[in-house]
Every structure is written in C-alpha cells, then in structure tokens.
Amino acid sequence: MSKMEKRFPTRISFRRGQVDMTHGSGGRAMAQLIEELFVRHFDNDLLRQGNDQALFTPPPGRLVMSTDGHVVSPLFFPGGDIGSLSVHGTINDVAMSGARPLYLSAGFILEEGFPLADLERIVSSMAAAARAAGVPVVTGDTKVVERGKGDGVFITTTGVGVVADGLEISGTNARPGDAILVSGTIGDHGVAIMSSRENLEFETAIRSDSAALHGLVADMVAAVPEIRSLRDPTRGGLAATLNEIAHQSQVGMRLSEDDIPLRAEVDAACELLGLDPLYVANEGKLVAICPADKAGPLLAAMRANPLGREAAIIGEVVEDDMGFVTMETGFGGTRIVDWLAGEQLPRIC
C-alpha cells in the first residue's frame, strides 16, 4: 500500500449493509464491493490483476463454451443456494461435451436493498463451489437495478472448457440399439426447491442434488471414450432431456420405469403434489448414451464415482422416425413420455 492513498477509508459492513445504486455506478463504492467481496472470495491470479477481461492461453484441444442464467427462488434451499447452483450449472453444461472445464465468468444483477449479508453468503458459497471444482471465476460484472425491478439477485455464469481429441459427444449421436444410463436418483432438486417454498407447507428431508459433474464425466470418458451423448436433465427433467436427444438424433427411446432410480421421499412428494418425477428438475445428474456393448463398463465407471453411485441402465435407443420416448410402466402397460407442456413449477434454477 505504501505511498498510495488508502482507497477505502472504512470497510463495507456486510453484517448490516444493503445493496444501493452506488454499488453498480462504476464509482468508488462499486470498486470497493468488487475488492472486498468478489475478489476476496473468488481470489485467483487472473481476477487479482483487476482487468476487464481474463487473459489466458488455452491448453491443446477443442474449446467449448456455455452460459446459464440463474433466477432460482428461494435463493437458499436445502442442499445449496443460487451461488453454488450457478457454478454447478455452467460447469455441467460445459462438461456434457466431455470437456474439462477451465474457467468461469459471473455476471450479477443485484436489486437495490438486497442485504449484503445474503450477498456475501451467496458469493462465499459460489467461491467454495468453484474452489472445490477447481474451476476459478476469473472475470465478472455487477449491475444494480432499482428496488422492485429485480428479485434480490440474478446470476449469469459462463464457462469455457477444453475437449480432448477423440471424443465426439453430442445429442445428435444416439443410435438405435444404444443403452441409456442415468447417474442416480431423479427429481431431488425440484422437490427440494418445492419443499422450501413457503406456500408448500410440507417438510421433507430431501436435499438438492446440486453438484459439479465434470469429475464423473472425466471418469466416464476415460473408461468409455465411445460415449455418444451426455446431458444433464435440469429443467423439464429426464423426460425433456430424452426427448431433446431423441429429436436431435431422430431416434426413439424405450425406458423401463422400474429401472429408473427414484428416492422414496421424492416419489411420495411427487405423489402428493400430483407431479411426475420424470419432469422434475435435477442439478447433479446426467444422462449418458453409449453403444450397448459398452454399457457394462460405463455403468461400472459411473458407480465407482461417488456422484454416480446409484447409476442405472434405464432403457435403450430404438429406431423410430417419430422420435417417441415410451416407457414400460411398473404396472406392465406402455405409455409415452412426452415433452413437458406448460411449466410444472417456475424458477427452479
């Protein structure tokens, strides 16, 4: 610090303070918020340089890039919060190409009056998630909107990653005969969010499954580089994801209801609310499609990772130019698993 004027005579009070318009104005208050909150928590060499962009040399391979806006309500829920979710969500979107995620950026839209204590809690959770994942937040932006024009905080994150040569993973690659796998129980995130909404007065022990899946993906592609498709079934749940892939690859799918992993509590909560767990969001699960003869090794690789412990083979890709996803029900009949119409519950991620 030596001879330079001390930039900020008093520190921000994160205990009592709240966001005001000056925090987005480009002035000293904004600089102080960036330094005492964002840089302090996200702390890394690239961010510390204080430039408007992060400069880095990418490793060899093909680059992938993905972005995701997060508007979840409530901001804090069992098993996570908007901060950790915004890190996991984008890391997963990058990783579903088989990539190793490298860096994240984060854009915050803050509402005037939002408690700084909550903001710090969110940023600290985000930083912890990024650190645990080994994917630093290297650049960012903060804007403040007037009271009533936002809902506390919205976070948009963008991620870049690099895909090793030899991997060709895409939603367009599913072929008839391929096996369909899921990495664990479905519907946990959506039900956790619902149970923490104040107007749904039932309490469950269900926690969001929010998690970064790039480690699991790395194990999977190491064991079976022939994986055809990977996707994380977030909004719209497993049903939407399978319909997307069926549509992209122009194939049909046949599932077996009995083989789809589902927690008894989630099943019961869905029963109560009249929801179908196939349509409920996940934030720490992935769907994988691979050649049938690789399904065994892939399942073993998934189960060897803590995030894939409850992985299962849930069905197969079939020839069908109409692109229908059907399911043999636990009851012995057959039904279609359609796209979600309308919305089950808004603002879950």
Partner 1 sequence: MKYVDEFRQKDLARKLAADIRREADTGRQYNFMEFCGGHTHAIFRYGVQDLMPRNLRFVHGPGCPVCVLPIPRIDMAIELAERHGAILCTYGDLMRVPASKKNSLIKAKAAGADIRMIYSTQDALRIARENPEREVVFFAIGFETTTPPTAVAIKQAAAEGLANFSVFCNHVLTPAAIQHILQSPEVRDLGQVSIDGFLGPSHVSSIIGSEPYEFFAEEFQKPVVIAGFEPLDVMQSTLMLIRQVNEGRFEVENEYTRVVTPEGNEVAKDLMAEVFELRRAFEWRGLGDVPYSALKITDAYAQWDAEKRFVVTKSTGTDVKGCECPAILRGVKKPTDCKLFGTVCTPDNPQGSCMVSSEGSCAAYWSYGRFRIDRVKETAA
Spatial contact of 61 and 164, defined as CB atoms under 8 Å apart: yes
Lateral strand order in the sheet of 62-70: 62-70, 153-163, 100-111, 137-145
* Residue closer to partner 1 (CB basis): 110 or 325: 325
Distance, in Å, from the CA atom of 295 to the CA atom of 298, rounded to the nearest integer, reads 5
Nearer CB in complex with partner 1: 158/195? 195
* Closest distance to partner 1 from the beta carbon of 341 (Å): 3
CB of 201 to partner 1, least distance (A): 8
Q: Cβ of 271: how many Cβ atoms within 10 Å?
A: 11
The distance of closest approach from Cβ of residue 49 to partner 1 in the complex, given in angstroms and rounded to an integer, is 45
Please give the order of strands across the beta sheet that includes 179-182.
229-231, 287-290, 179-182, 312-318, 252-256, 325-328, 334-336
Phi, psi (5° rounding) for residue 210?
A: -45, 120
Considering the complex, state which of residue 95 and residue 275 has its C-beta at the smaller distance from partner 1.
Answer: 275
Q: Which is nearer to partner 1, 52 or 198 (CB)?
A: 198
Instruction: In angstroms, give the least distance from the CB of 227 to partner 1.
Output: 27
**CB 253 → partner 1: shortest distance, Å?**
11
Phi, psi angle pair for 269, to nearest 5°: -65, -40
Find the shortest distance in angstroms from Cβ 324 to partner 1: 4
Nearer CB in complex with partner 1: 13/334 = 334
Q: Closer CB to partner 1, residue 73 or residue 326?
A: 326
Whether residue 46 contacts residue 56, with contact meaning beta carbons closer than 8 Å, is answered with yes
How far, in Å, CA of 139 to CA of 161, rounded? Answer: 15
Closer Cβ to partner 1, 214 or 235, answer by number: 235
User: Is 305 or 326 the residue whose CB approaches partner 1 more closely?
Assistant: 326
Strand partners, 325: 253
Of 327, 288, 62, 279, give the one whose Cα is nearest residue 174. Answer: 288
Whether residue 98 contacts residue 63, with contact meaning beta carbons closer than 8 Å, is answered with: no
Alpha helices in the chain (DSSP H): 28-33, 40-42, 45-48, 82-95, 116-133, 188-196, 214-223, 237-249, 264-273, 295-303
If the CB atoms of residues 40 and 335 are measured against partner 1, the closer one turns out to be 335
Pairwise CA distance, residues 349 & 341, whole Å: 18
Q: How far is the CB of 327 from partner 1 (least distance, A)?
A: 9
Cβ at position 344, least distance to partner 1 in Å: 9
- Quote the least distance from Cβ 273 to partner 1, whole Å: 8
Strands (E), 246-324: 252-256, 287-290, 312-318
Q: Which residues bind partner 1 (CB under 8 A)?
A: 199-200, 264, 267-268, 271, 274, 322, 324, 326, 329-336, 338-339, 341-342
